[in-house]
Amino acid sequence: MPQAKTAISQVDAFTDRPFAGNPAAVCILSETASDRWMQAVAAEMNLSETAFLVSQADGYSLRWFTPAIEVNLCGHATLASAHVLWSEGHLPPEQEICFHTRSGLLTATLQNGWITLNFPAQPVTAIAAEPDLLRALRGAEPQFVGKNQTHYFVELASEQHVHLLQPDFALMQLLPTQGVIVTSQAEAAPVDFVSRYFAPAAGINEDPVTGSAHCALAPYWQKVLAKDDFLAHQISARGGVLQVRCVGDRVKISGQAVTVMRGDLLFDPLYDC
């Protein structure tokens, strides 16, 4: 039988208008829920990420689940979480938010309608292009191939090459990483670089806008373009815009967000799913 209601919101992140950017569900819990329950809710929501928050003395614990797995770092669901905490009156908008996560302490601040996340840089190391990766990219010719602990990283020759890429998701799902970041320099100012992100192994063929991927993208383009501040465009079907800045071993990722739905989960964390 249903238990007490648990509120949940759906937020489009890295956009200033509804039905664009990357949707995330945000669920604020009164106490920690079981992994099984959170994974079941994420599968039910069927979005690229569902965020679960629990208040604590110095901020909020924050965990992220795709429909298939829990992940260690997620940008758009963190931005969505901060948006919900401020817009729904949980915290005053001038207060910095501290999130305690699998990737350490992450913070969020709000200024002039833009939310800025402070994330760890995750630079990539150059590697030889592995045959399975090239097959998954279906003949695309990389200008650079790299890897960090979580992702393959591929630079293509142009924005058009990134836009037209049609990966083989069945092959990509077998690669020994969570996902593949594909990028190029942008064709026209003011955008500096474009990207797409694929993670079929995590239950997401293509993620609309991936904040965490910019923890690798920003340090890479910092070296290539010899600058620290960027305007980035993730050119998925929904698309999203990010302001990105390299600060030492951190990356500051800024974006906007819009709430598109609020509701109640009728089966709370005590429900045995």
Residues near 30 by beta carbon (within 8 Å), at least 6 away in sequence: 54
Quote the pLDDT of residue 139.
87
Quote the pLDDT of residue 54.
97
Quote the pLDDT of residue 3.
55
- DSSP output for 183-212: EEE-SSTT--EEEEEEEGGGTEEEES--TT
Quote the pLDDT of residue 5.
79
- Tokens (6 digits) for 150: 């979580």
The pTM of the full predicted model, rounded to 2 decimals, is 0.94
Helix (H, G, I), strand (E, B) or coil at 46: coil
Res 168 pLDDT > 80: yes
Rg of the Cα atoms in the chain = 18
The one-letter code for the residue type at 240 is G
Q: Give me the catalytic one of 31, 49, 70, 187.
A: 49
Q: If DSSP states are collapsed to H, E and C, what string results for 104-161?
A: EEEEEEEECCEEEEEEECCCCEECCCCHHHHHHCCCCCCCEEEECCCEEEEECCCHHH
Mean pLDDT, the chain, whole residue set: 95
Is-catalytic flag, 49?
Answer: yes
Ordered domains of the chain (ranges, CATH): 6-118+256-265 (3.10.310.10), 125-248 (3.10.310.10)
pLDDT (tens digit per residue) in 73-127: 999 999 999 999 999 999 999 999 999 999 999 999 999 999 999 999 999 999 9
